[in-house]
A = this chain, B = another copy of it.
Amino acid sequence: MKGSKDNTNSGGRIVALCGGVGGAKLALGLARVLGEDLTVIVNTGDDFEHLGLHISPDIDTVLYTLSGLANRELGWGRRDESWNFMKVLQDLGSETWFQLGDRDLALHVERTRQLKAGNLLTRITGAVAARFGISAQILPVSDDPVRTTVIAEGRPLPFQRYFVEQRCAPVVERIMFDGVAEARPTAQVAAALRDPKLRAVVICPSNPFLSIDPILAVPGMRGLIEAAAVPVIAVSPIIAGKAVKGPTDKIMAELRVPATSQAIVKHYGGLLDGLVVDEADGGDAAALPVESLVTPTLMKTEEDRDRVARAVLDLAARLSARSLAEAGSE
């Protein structure tokens, strides 16, 4: 033992699995602590074609959040945004249910152009991250299309139609990931999870059903995570018996999943070694079948994000130390 060693920045890679807004907050905290020692594997199930453009909402949220370009008032899109494109689109009688800011639009047009030219989403995302001055590695889980479809009130709804156009109003019965059986993790995703310096996998407090499941559903992903043989830690999206983000709460109720830490651990089906639990739900923590760490998990400020990130890394260090001790005692 090295005594007072600071476990939060003791070197080694962290791989975080992340969806949109909620998860990106933790990803930002991790990025501030870890810099280039962070790989963020991002959900692509929300991706869709709109007005002929390829839009990757979760990747964009991560890119904008980690580069400081995110619009914090809106909770989505870019800051200092203008909306003249949308105004004229409305004048033209076109589809306006999905808001596209003038600045945001450049990313969709350029990505679409590059995809058509044969570039892969992974390379395009990496180039944009570099342009935006992001040190962390941002990776789509797959370059193959995975498209989340919500079965709601008996009919299939493409995710953005459900989420944005219908504002999550229809009652969810089932969630499908079209194309996922044929999708594969990218070589970059596999390399990050096989990095000998990997020290933990973190599941961000994104919607488990809509943001994390499509990542884990890509054949090979669970195997890569398990084979990494490092602690797998989730930050629970539950605070005081409710999901922080309204839609997650509503969907969990509709899918008859209780909004508890227990249910989150159960949902990830044996993948987790640890769970970061909000202090409001600390009473449940002792009964969990995994190691836990209790801390306030609501992330409103930059300091909140850093603190939760450090809590995750503390828990990872604790689990690693225990694992080493167990190996030593065998």
Proximity string of chain A (104-136) to chain B, C-beta cutoff 8 Å, 1 when within and 0 when not: 111101101100100000000001100100000
**What 1/0 mask marks residues of chain A from 80 to 102 whose CB sits below 8 Å from any chain B CB?**
01101111110111100000011
Q: Which listed residue, B91, B102, B104, B107, touches A131 by the CB 8 Å rule?
A: B91
A128 B92 Cβ-Cβ under 8 A = yes
* Cβ–Cβ contact A94 & B106, under 8 A: yes
A51 at the interface (CB under 8 A from B): yes
Residue A53 CB within 8 A of the other chain: yes
Q: Are A102 and B85 within 8 A (Cβ)?
A: yes
Asked if A51 contacts B110 (CB within 8 A), the reply is yes
Considering only residues 124-170 of chain A, those with a C-beta below 8 Å from chain B are 127-128, 131
Tell me if A318 counts as interface (CB < 8 A to partner B).
no
- Specify the chain B residue showing the minimal Cβ separation from A116: B52
Beta-carbon contacts under 8 Å, A37-61 to B: 51-53
With both chains docked as a complex, state the minimum distance between the C-beta of A66 and any C-beta of chain B, in angstroms.
15
Query: In the bound complex, how far is the Cα of B92 from the Cα of A127, in angstroms?
Result: 8
Which of A105, A109, A113, A128 has the most chain B CB within a 10 Å cutoff? Answer: A109
Which B residues are in CB contact (< 8 Å) with A102?
Answer: 82, 84-85, 102, 105
Complex partner residue of A85 from B53, B103, B112, CB under 8 angstroms: B103
* Structural contact, A106 and B131, CB atoms closer than 8 A: no
Contact of A106 among B53, B85, B127 (CB under 8 A): B85
Interface of A: prevailing SS: helix
Q: Is A94 in contact with B113, judged by CB distance below 8 angstroms?
A: yes
**Distance between A287 CB and nearest chain B CB, rounded to angstroms:** 49
B87-A131 in contact (CB<8A): no
Once the chains are docked, how many angstroms separate the CA of A216 from the CA of B113? Answer: 33
Beta-carbon contact of A106 and B82 below 8 Å = no
Once bound together, how far apart are the Cα atoms of A154 and B197, in whole Å?
Answer: 57
Cross-chain contact B93 with A131 (CB below 8 angstroms): yes
When C-beta atoms are compared, the residue in chain B nearest to A124 turns out to be B92
- Contact check: which of B52, B85, B86 meets A52 at CB < 8 Å? B52
Q: Distance (Å) between the CB of A7 and the closest chain B CB?
A: 37
- A10 → chain B closest CB, angstroms: 35
* Cβ of A80 to closest chain B Cβ, rounded Å: 8
Q: How far is the CB of A83 from chain B (nearest CB, A)?
A: 8
Task: Pick the contact of A109: B52, B104, B131 (CB < 8 A).
Answer: B52
B113 A51 Cβ-Cβ under 8 A: yes
Q: For residue A114, which residue of chain B has the nearest CB? A: B94
Q: How far is the CB of A68 from chain B (nearest CB, A)?
A: 13
With both chains docked as a complex, state the minimum distance between the C-beta of A11 and any C-beta of chain B, in angstroms.
Answer: 32
Q: How far does the alpha carbon of A41 sit from the alpha carbon of B101 in the complex, in Å? A: 34
Given contact pairs A51-B109, A86-B106, A92-B110, a sample of 8 additional A-B residue pairs in the complex whose CB atoms are under 8 Å apart: A53-B109, A84-B103, A85-B109, A88-B103, A88-B107, A92-B106, A102-B105, A105-B105
14 contacts between A and B (CB under 8 A): A52-B113, A82-B82, A84-B101, A85-B103, A85-B105, A85-B106, A86-B106, A87-B106, A88-B103, A88-B104, A88-B105, A92-B110, A94-B106, A102-B105
